[in-house]
């Protein structure tokens, strides 16, 4: 009887440890660093200037699955196109990538279309790149 009880008890303890291990480990691991939105160029109809680039959105905020045009003036950039990678701040939605095409004279233009999420409003953090330099961007998305 005791020989049967020991393996069953060990299996039960292993399952219990596996269930509580993530909670216990989370207590000892450092919290995710807070994002300082002041480091990001908040995109809207007002031009945002950073690192030699000026960025403007067609609208002050975006809506899910509705295209919004983005305009970038980056005189020092000679890239044929810019890439914009964005990911959700409040909810993990993966990374969405956009390409902005060179219109000549350092002017770039593209279109953003962000996916639907279950939150009423969400901030998308982005990295705009010309291949040599990166600019941190942020966009506010609302369902209204």
CA distances to 12, 97, 140 from 82, rounded to whole Å, are 55, 10, 20
Going from N- to C-terminal start, the domains of the chain cover 37-142
Is the CATH code 2.60.40.1930 the one for domain 37-142? yes
Q: Which two tokens stand for residue 63?
A: 């809506």
Strand duo 48-50 + 81-88: pairing: unpaired
Take residue 96 and report the two structure tokens written for it. Answer: 């969405």
pLDDT of the chain along its 144 residues, tens only?
Answer: 767 778 888 888 888 888 887 777 777 766 556 788 889 999 999 999 999 999 999 999 899 999 999 999 999 999 999 999 999 999 888 999 999 999 999 999 999 999 998 888 999 999 999 999 999 999 999 987
Token representation of residue 27: 């207590």
CB atoms within 10 A of CB 88: 19
Instruction: Determine the pLDDT at residue 30.
Output: 61
């Amino acid at each position: 009887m005791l020989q049967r009880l020991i393996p069953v008890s060990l299996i039960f303890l292993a399952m219990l440890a596996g269930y509580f291990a993530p909670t216990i480990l989370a207590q000892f691991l450092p919290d995710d660093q807070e994002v300082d939105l002041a480091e990001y160029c908040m995109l809207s109809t007002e031009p945002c200037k950073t690192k030699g680039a000026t960025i403007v959105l067609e609208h002050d905020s975006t809506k899910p699955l509705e295209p919004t045009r983005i305009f970038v003036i980056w005189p020092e950039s000679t890239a044929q196109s810019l890439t914009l990678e964005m990911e959700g701040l409040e909810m993990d939605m993966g990374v969405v990538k956009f390409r902005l095409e060179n219109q000549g004279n350092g002017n770039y233009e593209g279109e953003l279309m962000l996916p639907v999420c279950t939150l009423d409003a969400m901030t998308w953090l982005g990295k705009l790149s010309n291949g040599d330099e990166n600019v941190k961007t942020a966009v506010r998305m609302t369902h209204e």
